[in-house]
Structure formats: C-alpha cells, structure tokens
Amino acid sequence: MTIQEYHEILDFAVNRERAAVQFYKDLQKEVKFLDQKKMLQELEAMEMGHIVVIENIRKRGVREEDIQKVPNLQITEYLTTDADQLDMTYQNILIKAMKREEAAVKLYSEMSVKFPDPDLSTLFRRLAAEEARHKLIFEKKYDEWLSKGN
C-alpha cells in the first residue's frame, strides 16, 4: 500500500463521516420537539468525533492493539424496518442512527477482508470498531428507552 492509497482511504472515511454529519443536520430541520433536536445534535457531534479519530489515525497510524473489542447487542439485526421510511419519533431516530452505524460496521468489516494488505486490513478493522462503538451507544439508548415501557 502506498501513502497515497492510505490517505485516499482515510479521505473516503472522512467523507462518509461528513455525510453523516449532514444527515443529522438535515434531520434536525424535520423534528418538532426540542428533545429530538438535542439528540440529533448529539449524534451530529458524535459523527464529528469520528472525523477527529480518523484524522488522528492519519497522523499516528493504526496498530492492531488500537482495535477495541466492542460488544454487539444485535438489536439492529432484529429490526426489519426500513429506517429511511420512518417518521421522526425518538424511537425511530435511534433506529435510523443504529442502522447507519450498522451499515458502516458492515462496510468496513467487509473491506478489511477484501484487501490482503495487513496495514489496510488493520485500518479497516479499526474503523469498523469505531463504528461498532457508536452502534453500541445507540443500541443501549434504544434498550433503555424500551425498558422504560415505551
């Protein structure tokens, strides 16, 4: 892998995160309640945090030991709803966020096995772990919301 290829992959990841930031900004225009807007702003900030993580990888590189094992509550795997068709309730905002993170985990995980270069594989596994961490945050919020009898 060349340095240029490495940076192109990081640019791809940053662009995906910027698209996610814009997604949550756009959703903020659709919601009716302040609590929903506040949650979407938190989600937007989390995605901006992803950009910081990626830029730190760009500066420092990534090592195998940087990849954290993240538990998977597998909530999204049991949700068959088309997230794009959902309205803007609290529950549905969480479902949309979980599904976006799930798709990112899947993308980066698949890319980690498609590229034989060990450095690329490590990079993609690190990006997948970061997305899995955020998916877990949303799954916990969703589980907590359901536990309250909603």
CATH number at residue 16: 1.20.1260.10
The pTM of this model reads 0.83
Which of 57, 50, 54 minimizes the C-alpha distance to 20? 50
pLDDT of residue 5: 85
What the block records as the tokens of 18 is: 């910027």
pLDDT of residue 62: 87
pLDDT of residue 59: 92
Report, as ranges of residue numbers, the positions in the chain whose pLDDT lies below 70: none
pLDDT of residue 71: 92
pLDDT of residue 113: 93
Which of 92, 73, 82 minimizes the C-alpha distance to 143? 73
Q: How many domains does the chain have?
A: 1
pLDDT of residue 10: 93
Which of 37, 57, 77, 74 minimizes the C-alpha distance to 119? 57
pLDDT of residue 112: 92
**Residue 140: domain span:** 3-147
